[in-house]
Amino acid sequence: MNEQQTKIFRCFNCGNETKQSLISNHISSILYDEVTIDGKNESINNNFHYLSYECSTCSGLNIIGGFENEIDLELNNYKRLFPVGYNLRIPDHQLIAKKQPIPEEIINIYEEIWFLRKQVPNAFANQIRKCLEMICNNKKAKGKTLNDKLKDLKNQGLLPGTNEELVKIIREVGNLGSHDSGRDLDIWDVELLDEFFKTVVDYIYVIPMKMKILNNRLKSK
């Protein structure tokens, strides 16, 4: 892998696509995958590169990298490691039958809008509403409004919590960013909204998949 001393990519701190300067490259041999050979599970290690870049706009730190056999800086093929960004995709080696549990259309929209958080908070909130509605429709939630559909998911046990505070949060999320909400959002509002959205995704798509993987592994012991 050829190191690039400067590279243009989007900063996950300020949201600007700008020049980044390479600060360091740390290499560590870590677990890459598990394979079964002659009925026995064997672990495979691989070199993982952690490349630290400084943003020329905000001086924020961005860490990218990846396994040596996968990363290619020139082709923009690498993982975003810090700050945690828009990526909802689960690593291939953690998938069941290599199938992404999160609908592709939801992933694509989220990746497009994530950068609006700090630049246009209200627009981000409106698009998160759209993503939540897509999740509700994907799970065939009942109700005329987003609020009703989220409540239905909660009643089905697909969302955590049973207290009144959760119902209030769901109602407020259903109104965030709408024209009739009566107020503008700031970056702290949408940071929490972003976390709420990721929690919904985890409970509905990711955790059931991981529980199935764990159950299969325990049965094979």
- Which of 70-74, 104-108, 138-142, 216-220 is predicted least confidently? 216-220
Q: Among 85, 117, 134, where does a domain finish?
A: 85
Range of the domain at 195: 104-220
HEC string of the chain equals: CCCCCEEEEECCCCCCEEEEEEEEEEEEEEEEEEEEECCEEEEEEEEEEEEEEEECCCCCEEEEEEECCCCECCCCECEEEECCCCCCCCCHHHCECCECCCCHHHHHHHHHHHHHCCCCHHHHHHHHHHHHHHHHHHCCCCCCCHHHHHHHHHHCCCCCCCCHHHHHHHHHHHHCCCHHHCCCCCHHHHHHHHHHHHHHHHHHHHHHHHHHHHHHHHHHC
Q: Quick one: 111 and 155 in the same domain?
A: yes
Q: Quick one: 111 and 176 in the same domain?
A: yes
Q: Quick one: 147 and 72 in the same domain?
A: no
Q: Quick one: 29 and 131 in the same domain?
A: no
pLDDT in tens, 157-215: 888 765 466 556 656 665 655 555 556 778 888 888 888 888 889 999 999 888 888 88
Number of domains in the chain: 2
Q: Quick one: 112 and 52 in the same domain?
A: no
In a domain? residue 197: yes
In a domain? residue 44: yes
Q: Quick one: 72 and 116 in the same domain?
A: no
Q: What is the pLDDT of residue 121?
A: 86
Q: Quick one: 196 and 108 in the same domain?
A: yes
Q: Quick one: 114 and 70 in the same domain?
A: no
Pick the more confident residue, 1 or 24: 24
Q: Quick one: 76 and 116 in the same domain?
A: no
Q: Quick one: 108 and 78 in the same domain?
A: no
In a domain? residue 13: yes
In a domain? residue 75: yes
Pick the more confident residue, 109 or 15: 109
The arithmetic mean of pLDDT across residues 16-20, rounded, is 91
Q: Quick one: 40 and 141 in the same domain?
A: no
Q: Among 57, 85, 113, where does a domain finish?
A: 85
pLDDT in tens, 33-86: 888 888 788 889 999 999 999 999 999 999 999 999 999 988 889 988 998 777
In a domain? residue 21: yes
In a domain? residue 149: yes
Q: Quick one: 68 and 136 in the same domain?
A: no
Q: Among 23, 55, 85, where does a domain finish?
A: 85
